[in-house]
Amino acid sequence: MSNLPLNINFTQIFLHLLNFLILFAILYFLLYKPVKNFMENREKTYRDMDDEARDNLRASEETKAQYEIRISEAESEISQMKQKSRQDIEKNRDSQLQAAKDEAERIIREAKEEATREKEKIISEAQAEISEMVTDATEKLALKATAGEAFDQFLDAVDLAEERGSKHEQ
């Protein structure tokens, strides 16, 4: 085997190749495979954590959507309750206003009736007094001979009646 050019020894090459394969197998089983398994497990762990985080995010978004729906429903219900309260207040205010108007009309009507009765009473009293004064004046006229004295007495009686009438009006 010495005839080979450049002193190439195939046994040496074969032994180096065998050593390299043994070293490769040892490194593969001692380093590469455990590191690869560790990396796969780590990747699987992080993937599981990522999936769990996505599921939690999805669940929280669904919960958030449900709460937003509930909030909008509550706001709608509050708005409806406010509207109903406003309507109830408006009805109550209108009914109280109508009751106050009715009461005012009743009071005015009763006051007018009372004023009418008072007016009729004053007129009848004044007519009675006037007729009494006229009767008195007539009697005095008939009894008194002079027209001047009778006229003066009549004017005094009218003045007296006017004073009584003005006192009644007050």
- For the chain, 170 residues long, the average pLDDT of each consecutive 10-residue run is 67 94 92 92 96 95 94 93 93 93 93 92 88 80 64 79 70
- Write down the pLDDT at residue 41: 96
Residue 164 to residue 91: CA distance in whole angstroms? 53
Look at residues 159, 165, 168, 164 and name the one whose alpha carbon lies nearest to residue 137.
159
Distance, in Å, from the CA atom of 19 to the CA atom of 13, rounded to the nearest integer, reads: 10
Between CA 140 and CA 146 the distance in angstroms is: 10
Identify which of 120, 115, 130, 117 has the alpha carbon closest to the alpha carbon of residue 165. Answer: 130
Residue with the two structure tokens 């769990």: 52
Q: What is the pLDDT of residue 147?
A: 64
Dihedral angle, C-alpha 104, 106, 112, 118, nearest 10 °: -120
- With beta carbons less than 8 A apart as the criterion, state whether 137 and 157 touch: yes
Question: What is the predicted pLDDT for the residue at 25?
Answer: 92
Which residues have CB under 8 Å from 45's CB, separation 6+?
none
pLDDT score, position 51: 95
